[in-house]
Amino acid sequence: MVLKVFFPSCCSSAESGILIGRWISEQNSAVILAVVHFPFIPVQVKQYLSEVQRVTKVSVSVLGSWSNSKQEKEESLSEFLEDLGTIFSHEPWIQISKEGDSKFWSCSTLQKHSNNPKEEEIILVYYDQRKVMLSHLHPPLDAAASAEQKAEDASELSAIFDTVAKSKILFMTDRYDDGPIKLTHWQSDGVEASIIVELMKQASVPACMLLTFLLSLISGVCRSRALKFWPLSFLWSKLSTCEQLGHRLQHLQVISSTKKAQNQTQLMRKANIFVSLLIDVALGILLMSWLYRKNRIGHLADTLIPVADHVAEELQNLLQWLMGAPAGLKMNRALDQVLGRFFLYHIHLWISYIHLMSPFIEMILWYVGLSACLGLTVALCILSDIIALLTFHIYCFYVYGARLYCLKIYGLSSLWRLFRGKKWNVLRQRVDSCSYDLDQLFIGTLLFTILLFLLPTTALYYLVFTLLRLLVVIVQGLIHLLVDLIDSLPLYSILLRLCRSYRLAAGVKFRVLEQQDGKPLRLLMQINPLSYSSVVQTYRLPTYSCYPKDSWASLCKKLFLGELIYPWKHKGEKQD
Amino acid sequence: MEERRYRSASGAPIALRCRQHSASCRELAVRCPRLQLRSLSAVTSAVWLAAYGLFVLSENSVVLSAAIFITLIGLIIYLHFVKIDQESLLVIGSLGIQVTSSYASGKESTTFIEMGQVKDVVINEAIYMQKVIYYLCILLQDPGDPQGVSEVVPLFQSSKPRLDCLIEVYKSCQEILEQRKTAPHQA
């Protein structure tokens, strides 16, 4: 049987003493946490260890002895160390000794109640105690789902990481304390702490309470009855800015809660939300300062009306083209003229409204631009909403064209069934044969012919306006994708992976150090950090919008039948 | 520590180095053929000739600097992300198996599989384009089903050694894996 000893590299130069740590019998490995130096009273050591065990729930015990002699090996010392094995009974008793500055230590075990007398091989694995303590081991993504089964079958590595992480209290006593026990571990030269972090921790509690109070006020106002009346609630649900503001409010509530984070995932989530909000607001303020610098807002407002005019003019040209002979196709003159004039009048109405609003545009834009200080995402949502408002007439045309086309298609399909002598059975949801009267057949066939010959005209109008609508939808969709990206990117985790890569561990890697015959195998255990793609996948923040719910096939089918398409439906909205 | 020469599946010369660190620890490293100066200069001259042709046609010197830029960036990306110099297998009985790939730029990507998850190391056959090649792989244990295999991890994917080299590696691995079956676990 191979015995594995995990030795912290910080204790390599420690004075002689006894080794304390955890013995994992299922894996035949000993994780050494610290070295207790002479002189000590065995009873006090046992008391201290039982206290540590009670607090940390890790079974810490004395595992063996460590001797670091500068000169030649002393016989009396080795006998003394063996006698210690009888005081602290532990099976097996590990003895590690280092001579002078030699890299190669000798390791041996004493087994009193062993069945097999043969010498077992010992592997000495060095590990960096501070890094292993701070690191968080991530299980592979597919195994995380079955985490409940894995609880009893904990892997060896997670047991080691767990042991070191839970023994934080052991590392709190340094050598300047006046206790009866003198320990050596990674913090024995003095406990590390940062003044800034401690000050921020003290300041965060009252800040969180203030923030919670303010947020409860704001959410109370938002939920008040005054804002729930029908026109207003419809407006709030359609504007994406309100969704984004609600989302950010939720985030603020998460970070301002005064409860401490229970586990690693919650802590990382809070930190990611905080950093994401900070960066968002910083970028927003940057954008605002750029917009207001040389009165660019004024220029923007000035160009808005000419742009709207230009779009309307282009649409008018398009309609004139459709009313003539578009692409050489011959349209039905009467229907063409009716539809064309209807849409032209609509555009005329729209332009009049825009010109009515034009003196107020600059002021509205100026005040709306101020809200960019709430974040870059809010500014992008406002942009998307402005685009939606400016292209509202395109949306109207699309709805008119689609409804007309849809009616036509349904009429045609039902009359086609009549033409063949069949009928749609609503009760049975299938096509049945039916005998029609002569006059029913006559009128049906007439209507069918009329609808069929008017089909190209309506189809062309429908095609043109659907393409325009799709263009606007794509532009809005791209803006929302960008907003989603900023919302869900875990910036804190990525920065952590960049700067302190040992905190996020995917596993470990071993390096074989110099060997010498007769001495145990020496390995160095280092932390293998998580790859950037798994960091983003594990710590992604959830967002409120979802990607197109229609597959390409169903989208094409809907377009063909003339059903209205809403590809960027938000989560939580009722389905049509 | 000896080094033996073999051939890869496509005929390129590779070298296998076997090191025994202790009774239960072995390191097997396969060295892939290095980047040839011939192919590097051929690709570079082709790209630069094409860029010069474009420059003659368009009279725009941006094409030339863009070609140089693209060649440099392409070379860096190739060396850092694509070209594997050496693939090694470190088998430590009772700890696990570590698979390392070192790239030409010095980057090393490591995966460590614990011994508890390893079911066995076997040689499999695969159909690759028009050939049938052999490859060595590690079978991972399915935690729910003791007889099942949850995942297959193929080794030496970029050097693709032939069967004779694989048999050497297989024998070395099996000697260490057998030790965990003979040694009884303590209750």
On chain B, the residues whose CB falls within 8 A of the CB of A528 are: 110-112
Tell me, what DSSP letter sits at residue A175?
A: T
B97 forms beta bridges with: B91, B113
Query: Does B186 contact A28 at a Cβ distance shorter than 8 Å?
Result: yes
| Extents of the domains making up chain A | 3-184, 195-288, 289-489+541-561
Residue B139 CA to residue B152 CA, distance in Å, equals 5
**Are B108 and B50 found together in one domain?**
no
Beta bridge partners of B134: B125
Q: Which two tokens stand for residue A482?
A: 């960008």
Answer whether A313 touches B (CB < 8 Å). no
Mean pLDDT of A443-449: 91
Domain for residue B6, yes or no? yes
Question: How is A123-152 classified by DSSP, letter by letter?
Answer: EEEEE-HHHHHH-EEPPPTTTSTTTTGGGT
Nearest to A69 by CA among A151, A13, A131, A18: A13
- According to DSSP, residue A176 is labeled T
- Return the structure tokens found at A461: 């109008």
Q: Give the residue from chain B lying closest to A151, CA to CA.
A: B143
SS3 content of chain B, % helix, strand, coil (to 5): 35, 40, 25
Burial label for A322, CB within 10 Å (0-12, 13-18, 19+), is: buried
From first to last of its 187 residues, chain B has per-residue pLDDT tens of 788 999 888 888 999 999 998 888 899 999 998 888 999 999 999 999 999 999 999 888 888 999 999 999 999 999 999 999 999 999 998 889 999 999 999 899 999 998 888 999 999 999 988 989 999 999 998 888 888 888 999 999 999 999 999 999 999 999 999 887 776 544 3
The domain in which residue B174 lies consists of: 2-34+84-182
Who wins on pLDDT, A210 or A139?
A: A210
Give the tokens for residue A385: 């909403």
**CATH of A3-184 among 1.10.10, 2.60.200, 3.90.320, 3.40.140:** 3.40.140
**Is A123 touching B (CB cutoff 8 A)?**
yes
- CB contact under 8 Å between A123 and B92, yes or no, is yes
Measured in whole angstroms, how far is the alpha carbon of residue A325 from the centre of its chain?
53
Please answer whether residues A76 and A30 qualify as being in contact, where contact means their C-beta atoms are separated by less than 8 angstroms: no
Q: Minimal Cα–Cα distance from B37 to chain A, Å?
A: 32
Nearest to B24 by CA among A95, A98, A515, A527: A515
Q: How far apart are CA A428 and CA A94, in angstroms?
A: 82
In angstroms, the CA A165 to CA A133 distance is 4
How far are the Cα atoms of A441, A455, A544, B33, B120 from residue B147, in angstroms, in the given order? 71, 65, 43, 39, 11
Please name the residue of chain A whose CA is at the shortest distance from the CA of residue B22. Answer: A521
Residues of B with Cβ-Cβ distance to A2 under 8 angstroms: 24, 93-94, 183
For A73-121, what is each residue's pLDDT tens digit? 566 676 777 777 777 777 788 888 888 778 888 888 877 665 655 667 8
Residue type, A493: S
For the record, the structure tokens of A352 come out as: 């009049």
SS (H, E, C) A294-308: CCHHHHHHHHHHHHH
A224 touches chain B (CB under 8 A): no
- pLDDT > 70? residue A150: no
Chain A residues with CB under 8 Å of B27 CB are 512
Taking the CA atoms of chain B, what radius of gyration do you get in angstroms?
22
Q: Based on the domain organization, do B16 and B26 belong to the same domain?
A: yes
C-alpha–C-alpha distance, residues A14 and B120, integer Å: 41
Residue with the two structure tokens 């600059």: A362
3-state secondary structure of A31: strand
A312 has pLDDT over 50: yes
The residue of chain B nearest to residue A507, with distances taken between CA atoms, is: B112
Residues of A in contact with B25 (CB under 8 A): 123, 512, 521
Distance from CA of B18 to the nearest CA of A (A): 14
- The answer, for A101 touching chain B at a CB cutoff of 8 Å, is no
Q: How far apart are CA A391 and CA A308, in angstroms?
A: 9
pLDDT (average), residues A426-439 = 86
Q: How many CB atoms lie within 10 A of CB A363?
A: 10
Nearest residue on chain B to A2, alpha-carbon basis = B94
The domain boundary, picked from B24, B58, B82, lies at B82
Q: Are residues B174 and B110 in the same domain?
A: yes
Residue B170 domain flag? yes
To the nearest whole Å, the CA of A121 is away from the closest chain B CA by 8
B146, B140 in Cβ contact below 8 A? no
What pLDDT does B184 receive?
52
| DSSP per-residue string spanning B91-120 | EETTTEEEEEEEETTS-EEEEEEEGGGEEE
Residues of B near A (Cβ–Cβ under 8 Å) read 21-25, 27, 90, 92-95, 98, 100, 110-112, 114, 116-117, 143-144, 183-186
> Residue A261's CB: how many other CB atoms inside 10 A?
13
Residue A576 has pLDDT above 50, yes or no: no
In a domain, B187, yes or no: no
Q: Answer whether A149 sits within 8 Å of B143, measured CB to CB.
A: yes
Residue pair A380/A248 in contact (Cβ under 8 Å)? The answer is: no
Q: Which of B59, B82, B105 is the last residue of a domain?
A: B82
Residues in B touching A28 (Cβ below 8 Å): 94, 185-186
Residue B79 near residue B72 (C-beta atoms within 8 A): no
Contact A156 B116 (CB under 8 A): yes
Q: Please report how many Cα atoms fall inside a 13 Å half-sphere around the Cα of residue A476, on the Cβ side.
A: 28
Which of A156, A510, A515 is closest, CB to CB, to B22? A515
Calpha distance A133→A299 (Å, rounded): 57
Give the other-Cβ count within 10 Å of B30's Cβ: 24
Shortest distance between the Cα of B117 and any Cα of chain A, in A, equals 9
Structure confidence by residue, pLDDT tens digits, A358-405: 888 888 888 888 888 888 999 999 989 888 888 888 888 899 889 999
Domain count, chain B: 2
Sheet containing strand B25-31, strands side by side: B2-7, B13-22, B25-31, B84-92, B96-103, B108-114
- Would you place residue A340 in the very low, low, confident or very high pLDDT band (cuts 50, 70, 90)? confident
Q: Report yes or no: A2 at the B interface, CB cutoff 8 Å.
A: yes
For residue A535, the model assigns a pLDDT of 92
Between CA B123 and CA A294 the distance in angstroms is 71
- ipTM topping 0.90: no
State yes or no: pLDDT of A566 exceeds 60. yes
Which ranges of chain B does DSSP label H, i.e. alpha helix? 37-58, 62-77, 163-182
No. of H helices and E strands in chain B?
A: 3, 9
Between CA A476 and CA A478 the distance in angstroms is 5
Nearest by Cα to B29 from B70, B89, B83: B89
CA distance B154 to A74: 52
pLDDT of res. A117:
58
Window from A242-246, A412-416, A507-511 with minimum mean pLDDT: A242-246
Cβ-defined contact of B98 to A153 (cutoff 8 Å): no
Residues of A in contact with B118 (CB under 8 A): none
